[in-house]
Amino acid sequence: MPHVEIKCYPGRSEEIKAKCAEEVTKAIAASMGCDESAVSVAIKEIEKEDWKSKVWDTQIAPEMDGLYKKPGYTC
């Protein structure tokens, strides 16, 4: 039962977020060998000025060694 949480800056339409969730669902189901019905995807918008404190400092930097895809930026 893979669950994915995507955090991004606000500003994308509901249509774009739905398309992203659909594509992520397909990729995860195919790569992890599960049914699409087993995948859930959340998209949470984080204001740009809050990114460092709410995402980078708490979820990215402390987990850098465990990230399979590391960001190409630093805060």
pTM: 0.91
Active site residue 2: yes
Find the helix or strand (DSSP H, E) in which 28 lies.
helix 14-32
Domain ranges of the chain: 3-66
Domain spanning 3-66 has what CATH number?
3.30.429.10
pLDDT, position 57: 98
Q: How far apart are CA 27 and CA 49, in angstroms?
A: 31
pLDDT, position 29: 98
Active-site residue among 2, 10, 62, 71? 2
Question: What does the pLDDT look like over 16-60, one tens digit per residue?
Answer: 999 999 999 999 999 999 999 999 999 999 999 999 999 999 999
